[in-house]
Structure 1
Amino acid sequence: MGSLDAQIHGKFNLFVIDAGVDDADAWQRPYLTTPLFRKFVNRSFPLIDIRPNISAPGFNPADLLKSHGFGVLNHKSALFDPSNAHLNIDDEPFLHETYYPEIRDLLTKTTGAKHIFITHSFVRKSRPLGITRPNPPNTGRRAGSKNQAGANFRGTVNHQDNATNVPKHIPAGAGVGPARLPHLDYTHLSARQCIRFYRRDIEQQARESGVIGAEDGICADLPFPTTSAEANAVIAEQYNQDGLGPRYAAYSVWRPLGTVQRDPLCIAPRRGDTGELVEYPYDLRVQGNAELGGDFLREVTLLGVQGKDVGVRREVDAGEVKWYYVSRQTREEVLVIKFFDSAALGRGGKGAEAPWHGSPDIGDVWGEEARESIEVRVIAFW
């Protein structure tokens, strides 16, 4: 795909890493709330349209998912059936009865996973044309804020939620817009944390599938726990050493609610050479199941730059990082993006790692209509 010519440029927000953050202790922040990043710069990158690839005879979405960490699937949803026109996309019974089963079936057929657990869904809408800064805070989080650590995410975190196995839905009214920051929602560490602490049914399946036993076995004689950052390297090295270990993965299934004109979702496969772009991990406080140990910290990663590399109007060297998108993506074209895949761990791993993703500002190249989308996040076991 790298042979395609770049057609347009998209402007991302990049965190200036050495400017630092405020409110760094995730335990003292509200749920799902980022630290306060002190400085960002806007930088443009070429975007490569993969529509010619997905339109070519013989295109197989599963192959692209394996080689690049994302795939584009053609799928008609009952969400848009005229008989459902009177229903609201944020209506949770509608999602549970109609859309979630579709997503499970779609991923089962595409990936071969035996068990699919939906954890979250989001409805997002673009902000006014021309706004390129990061999304505004979800809750008050400036220095000196009186917002307590137990505060919720605009009313979407219920303290009783994780006592059940019900997916969480974040409605359009929560103000979650397209993410201008190139990022990873999961890391190897946060994947291990989520399957153990987030929900009882997921933890049980992780044990029955042999995942927790395999990871804990690798760390059994080590001086640090499986859920620590120190365990990353040894688990990655050994998990698939003698053939693939028990496989688990996390995915995002992203669908526009109309043809995309602005803020396309762009994906960049992970490559060793990121040029001047630097990975910056940070933690989010997540509500966990009380019986599994309660709240935990989930690691997330941004792509940022050092201050010395962001001279006025200077382009940023992105190394081998290339951004792909689907021009004028329709509601029947679904993006499936890896968030994590144990099968990609170590030298014995198979397939691509989770790619970077984000929604840059492309202006009104394709039109001015605001983008609306629905995303469903899942954890899968084989």
Structure 2
Amino acid sequence: MSTTKVQTAIAMEHQLGRCTYIEPDPSADPWANDYYVPGLPKSILTHDNVLHDIGPEVFQDSSPFKLATHAFTAVKHKSILQSPPYSKQSFFSEETITNIYTPEVISLVKSVTGAKEVVIITTSVRSKDYAPPKKGVKRPPVGDISKWDMKSPMLSGLGDENSRLTPLRLVHIDYSAEAARTMLRNFNPEVWETAKDIIEAEDEAAASGTEYKGGRYAFYSVWRPLKTVKKDPLAVCDPNTIDRERDLEDGPLKRPSLKGDYLAAFSLVKGVRAESQKWYWIKEQKEDEVYFLQFFDNFAEKEGRPLAAPHCSPELLGVEGGETRESVETRVIAFW
């Protein structure tokens, strides 16, 4: 990071966050990896980004940070599970996640986006300290895939210590545009049945070379702290400061489904132009301060909106120690 940028950050009392950028190895075979585990990268680059605290304005009606302008926003919302008789441990229960938190998220997504239907695809709880990857060692599998019936939403990070998930330093978007379309057709029966008309319209447009005439859908993350975040926060890159064609590269991931294994990549942000990126965070984000991150919206391009918001969990420079960050992330598909 340049000396000027560091001095500017200090002068303006901005936090510095060290983010990790990787370049995938195009020669690696994704089919040889475990499910949801990327191959060993071709290169790794870290960059110290200035984090701009949007907490004072993002929850105001006048906030400039909207899904339509930045592909992310944040809202105030307290979960039922954050009040007695429930506790933080309720988020580690499959029963309470399925029966209480899932309906809450569906209602919240409809309220924030105006969507008519919302399908939950995954819920992940992160409650373990970040551990730097060891050179030449692949990341361990995400949860126990054998316990997922592939008919219902996938849950991860709820089990014992061995299944707990850590924050991700990697700058990424969870699904590339092509992956979103692929998952619509493969993830589970609820998804592909709900999206039946959209899939038919997409296939017809592709086969005939005509304009798509189907409905709108979008992939989002609803990200909530389980306690005030003191370290390893979620930081979001302004998508208006990157060039998708130039700065994004697909990282293929093998995924299971009832139709068989398939590949659906996540998007990796290249770090060679990190200096030009603008990054945001919510300092000491509270339990009722909830991020909405957009991964894909099939109407975004034609309406002149950002497609997706890159993000990661940076190392806060100069902030030593602190309690382990605990958070719950629910990924959904919204339909209008």
TM-score class normalised by the smaller sequence: 0.7 to 0.9
Equivalent position of 1:189 in the other structure: 178
Corresponding residue to 2:310 among 353, 356, 361: 356
Largest Rg, 1 or 2: 1
Corresponding residue to 1:14 among 15, 18, 21: 21
State the secondary structure of the residue aligned to 2:292: strand
Equivalent position of 1:47 in the other structure: 51
Indicate the larger mover: 192-201 or 30-39: 30-39
**Consecutive unaligned residues in structure 1, runs of 5 or more:** 140-152, 223-233, 310-315
- The one-letter code matched in structure 1 to 2:335 is F
Equivalent position of 2:279 in the other structure: 323
Equivalent position of 2:5 in the other structure: none
Shift of 1:154: 5.7
State the secondary structure of the residue aligned to 2:316: coil
Q: Is residue 148–residue 154 contact of structure 2 (8 Å, CA) maintained in 1?
A: no
Corresponding residue to 1:343 among 281, 290, 299: 299
Q: Is residue 22–residue 36 contact of structure 1 (8 Å, CA) maintained in 2?
A: no
TM-score, length of structure 1 as denominator length? 0.76
- CA offsets per residue over residues 314-351 of structure 1, 9 Å max, x none? xx6532x2111111100000001001111103xx2253
State the secondary structure of the residue aligned to 2:333: strand
Supply the distance in 1 between the matched residues of 2:314 and 2:134 (Cα, whole angstroms).
Answer: 10
Supply the distance in 1 between the matched residues of 2:47 and 2:241 (Cα, whole angstroms).
Answer: 21
Q: Is residue 142–residue 156 contact of structure 2 (8 Å, CA) maintained in 1?
A: no
Q: Is residue 262–residue 364 contact of structure 1 (8 Å, CA) maintained in 2?
A: no
1:1-382 mapped onto 2 (5 Å cutoff)? 7-15=14-22, 17=23, 21=25, 24-56=28-60, 58-59=61-62, 64-85=66-87, 87-127=89-129, 137-139=138-140, 153=141, 155-158=143-146, 161-162=149-150, 164=151, 166-172=152-158, 173=161, 174-207=163-196, 210-221=197-208, 238-239=211-212, 245-271=214-240, 273=242, 278-290=247-259, 294-305=260-271, 317-319=274-276, 321-345=277-301, 348-363=302-317, 365=319, 368-382=322-336
- CA offsets per residue over residues 234-292 of structure 1, 9 Å max, x none? 9xxx448xxxx5100111000011111101101113236559x84221210011223xx
TM-score, length of structure 2 as denominator length? 0.86
Given the superposition, is the C-alpha separation of residues 154 and 247 from structure 1 closer, same or farther in structure 2, using an over 3 Å criterion? closer
Q: Is residue 39–residue 138 contact of structure 2 (8 Å, CA) maintained in 1?
A: no
- How many residue pairs match? The answer is 321
Indicate the larger mover: 212-221 or 96-105: 212-221
Shift of 1:158: 2.1
Shift of 1:155: 5.0
Supply the distance in 2 between the matched residues of 1:32 and 1:373 (Cα, whole angstroms).
Answer: 20
- The one-letter code matched in structure 2 to 1:181 is L
- The one-letter code matched in structure 2 to 1:318 is E
- CA offsets per residue over residues 22-63 of structure 1, 9 Å max, x none? 88111121111110114323210111111121254x3369x6
Q: Is residue 283–residue 299 contact of structure 1 (8 Å, CA) maintained in 2?
A: yes
- The one-letter code matched in structure 2 to 1:203 is W
Supply the distance in 2 between the matched residues of 1:41 and 1:183 (Cα, whole angstroms).
Answer: 13
Supply the distance in 1 between the matched residues of 2:203 and 2:292 (Cα, whole angstroms).
Answer: 29
